A and B are shown apart, each in its own frame.
Chain A
Amino acid sequence: MSLQVGNVRIGAGELAARLAQGFAGELTDVAVQEPDTVVARLAREKLKDVAARLHDLEETPVDSLTLISSVDYVTHYECVYHLYSYAANLYVELHVRVPRGDPTVETVSDVWPGADWHEREAWDMMGIVFKGHPDPRRILLKDDWIGHPLRKDYVDDVRNHPYV
């Protein structure tokens, strides 16, 4: 396949239809949000399988991971995978719900290597555990930090601040 960006000339509606058909029962609520973005919801048990198939999709492989966001909705967490297909020049957003009692997701760092540091950041800031991650350390805060500061129920611990 040529490396030229956007050489597969399909619109976001066409890609949404292809994804809804190819991943029936897995991707739900498939919709076009922006002119160039397809949004879909996904159960976290199917994330690994869907990620690998999206990456190796026929004609329009979704071969780039731009960002992993993590959101605290108080009732639950959510991981948002911002993906990009070079061939179609279109973006895909996968929303994965994570329950509050068991904040674990399968890692996708073996599918998209760029996910490595994003998953470390999500663990550092939001406390979401990525099972199978090759290097599950904190990335921004120091290693012995207590708590995950972007959670809504975060309470700062005085042991985090030795210099006061």
Chain B
Amino acid sequence: MALTDEVKRYLPDGIAARLKYPKLADFERPNVITTTADLVFNWARSHSVFPFQYGLACCAIEMLSSGFARFDIARYGMEVFRPTPRQCDLMIVAGTVNEKMAPVLLRLYEQMAEPKWVISMGACATSGGPFYDGYNVVNGVDKVVPVDVYIPGCPPRPEALFDGMLQLQRKIQQLTFARPEKVEPLYGADAPWHADAIGPQAQFGGRVSKKRLTP
């Protein structure tokens, strides 16, 4: 960033030195440094996603098809499929996850380097799909790992996969270095939707028991 005297005139006192030599604390709150750094890092991250090919069933055929010349996933900068989780930051779960595969999937997810994302491709990975009642089927990969984007379809066409990946790109571009102003607790009595915080009258006319809303 070129800090000419002309530019410095319009900046508040002391900010010029901090722009040149930013401290760690300057990345903690949203400001001009974090927005610029976010722009660069999010652009790089969202256009160089390395997908982990986790093909389990027929969705994998559509995933492979999207990699070849007719659909050509390389147009979006996401074409470098890797067979190892350590080189990847996106896991595309394409197919039915069964009870034997679930712990393996969790282990592979944990071996991926941060930041990492998960796409649940197709009906099976999202909810169990047509095998929902199967004795050996996990009803959705979100029971095992956190999912960022769900793609419907049985199986989804490559266009649907691209749409899901573009949605993910948008999600990646919202990342920021800055810490949020206030971290809201997800669970426990401090959570904003906890029964004690809402009060009995606000919950569905006061008829729903506390037990259901308390995690």
Chain A residues near B (Cβ < 8 Å)? 140-142, 145, 149, 154, 156, 160-164
Point out the residues of chain B lying under 8 angstroms from A161, CB to CB.
99, 138
Cα–Cα, bound, A161→B143 (Å): 11
Given contacts A149-B136, A156-B135, whether A142 and B143 have CB atoms under 8 Å apart is no
A29 to chain B, nearest CB (A): 35
Whether B80 is near chain A, meaning CB under 8 Å from some CB there, is: no
A141 and B139 form a contact (CB under 8 A): no
Whether B75 is near chain A, meaning CB under 8 Å from some CB there, is: no
Point out the residues of chain A lying under 8 angstroms from B99, CB to CB.
141-142, 145, 160-163
Point out the residues of chain B lying under 8 angstroms from A142, CB to CB.
99-100
Given contacts A141-B99, A141-B100, A142-B100, whether A163 and B136 have CB atoms under 8 Å apart is no
Point out the residues of chain B lying under 8 angstroms from A164, CB to CB.
139, 143
B166 to chain A, nearest CB (A): 29
Whether B15 is near chain A, meaning CB under 8 Å from some CB there, is: no
B136 and A141 form a contact (CB under 8 A): yes
B135 and A163 form a contact (CB under 8 A): no
Q: How many of B's residues come within 8 Å of A, CB to CB? A: 9
B27 to chain A, nearest CB (A): 37
Give 14 A-B contacts (CB < 8 Å), ordered by A residue.
Answer: A140-B136, A141-B99, A142-B100, A149-B136, A154-B135, A156-B135, A160-B135, A162-B99, A162-B102, A163-B99, A163-B102, A163-B144, A164-B139, A164-B143
Closest 3 pairs (CB-CB, A-B): A163-B143, A142-B100, A149-B135
Q: Apart from A141-B136, A161-B99, list 12 A-B contacts with CB within 8 A.
A: A140-B136, A141-B99, A145-B99, A149-B135, A149-B136, A160-B99, A160-B135, A161-B138, A163-B99, A163-B102, A163-B143, A164-B139
Point out the residues of chain A lying under 8 angstroms from B139, CB to CB.
164
A154, A160, A161, most chain B CB atoms within 10 A: A161
Cα–Cα, bound, A66→B139 (Å): 34
Point out the residues of chain A lying under 8 angstroms from B102, CB to CB.
162-163
Cα–Cα, bound, A154→B134 (Å): 13
B102 to chain A, nearest CB (A): 5
In the complex formed, the residue of B with least CB distance to A164 is B143
B135, B139, B143, most chain A CB atoms within 10 A: B135
B118 to chain A, nearest CB (A): 15
Point out the residues of chain B lying under 8 angstroms from A149, CB to CB.
135-136
Cα–Cα, bound, A160→B139 (Å): 13
In the complex formed, the residue of B with least CB distance to A142 is B100
Point out the residues of chain B lying under 8 angstroms from A163, CB to CB.
99, 102, 138, 143-144
Cα–Cα, bound, A156→B135 (Å): 7
A144 to chain B, nearest CB (A): 10
Point out the residues of chain B lying under 8 angstroms from A154, CB to CB.
135
Point out the residues of chain B lying under 8 angstroms from A145, CB to CB.
99
**Residues 136 to 152 of chain B near chain A (Cβ within 8 Å):** 136, 138-139, 143-144
B168 to chain A, nearest CB (A): 23
